[in-house]
Amino acid sequence: MKYAILLLALSSSVFAQTSKENKILFFGQDDRVFIAAPYAQPFSAIGQLETISASTCTATLVAPDLAITAAHCFLMDAKKLDAGRWFKAGFHKGEYQARYQVVAQYFHPRFKKGLVYKGDDVYIQDSAAAYDIAWLKLKLVDGKAPEPLPLFNGKKNQLKALIARAKSRATQAGFAEDHDTELTAHKDCKITRLRPNNTIYHRCDTLAGDSGSPIWLNTSSGPQIIAVQSSAPDWFNRKKADNVGVTVLQLPPKP
């Protein structure tokens, strides 16, 4: 496909799909489950990212002072960078387990050059699709820091083998726009392809607000994040493509 429409970062009724359209986006049925609060590991590391303009995405703590998310969360406006403000780990109905100030965000400069803005929608060109992933530099403000969720740390052939051992089954969890104050997860969702550009096609049920959410494999040594949610086709183009996640192989140098 030439463009993939972003699952918009902003949680707002302006962008809400109808239940019929959501069903199509969910590959025919909604397989998500609610995660009970307070979230246990590994879900406690997942939180809501809030930008200066108050739009929201999902992000995941991967080190005491670092989280990862999608790069497009900061670029929904063609005219300016919408920098991160807060990351709230374990976010649930306005409460949180730990709150972090976002000190900075880092992503590949090639990503911004590959965005196309059409009205309220933002599209990723193929040239930029592989760069929709970002680091967040964090400073703990209050609360009790959760245990970070480990990142996959290997090369592409090792990732391919890990996906095969997991029988192409993964877990995704985020703050989707239809339940944006509660964490929902799609467990045992399917990875359909590891692409040459280090992105994956997958069939995890996601909506706006899930942008940047972690996709991980349950391995013999515990959960490992392999990708973050990036984009999806419009509901009426669902049969043409699966959802897209950007693997951690594409992370820029650690800040």
Structure confidence by residue, pLDDT tens digits, 157-171: 999 999 999 999 999
Asked whether 16 and 235 are in contact (CB, 8 A), the reply is: no
Mean pLDDT of 138-154: 98
Q: How much is the average pLDDT of 1-25? A: 54
pLDDT of residue 224: 98
Going by C-alpha positions, the residue among 71, 69, 114, 113 that lies closest to residue 87 is 69
The model's pLDDT over 173-218, given as tens digits with 9 standing for 90+, comes to 999 999 999 999 999 999 999 999 999 999 999 998 999 999 999 9
Helix (H) or strand (E) holding 112, with range, is: helix 109-113
Annotated catalytic, 72?
Answer: yes
- Do 225 and 255 contact (CB within 8 A), yes or no? no
Segment 49-64 mean pLDDT? 97
186 a catalytic residue: no
Q: Under a CB-based contact definition with an 8 Å cutoff, are residues 200 and 245 in contact? A: yes
Cα distances from 16 to residues 146, 180, 237, in angstroms, run: 31, 12, 17
Is the pLDDT at 2 greater than 70? The verdict is no
Beta carbons within 8 Å of 146's beta carbon, 6+ residues apart: 39, 41, 44, 45, 61, 89, 90, 97, 98
pLDDT band for 136, please (50, 70, 90 cuts). Answer: very high
- Indicate which residue of 11, 44, 55, 72 is catalytic: 72
pLDDT of 137 over the 50 cut? yes
Which of 11, 55, 211, 231 is the catalytic position?
211
| Greatest alpha-carbon span in the chain | 46
Above pLDDT 70, what percent of the chain? Answer: 93
The model's confidence at residue 17, banded by pLDDT at 50, 70 and 90, is: low
pLDDT at 77: 86
**Could you tell me which residues are beta bridge partners of residue 228?**
246
Q: Domains of the chain, with CATH numbers?
A: 3-250 (2.40.10.10)
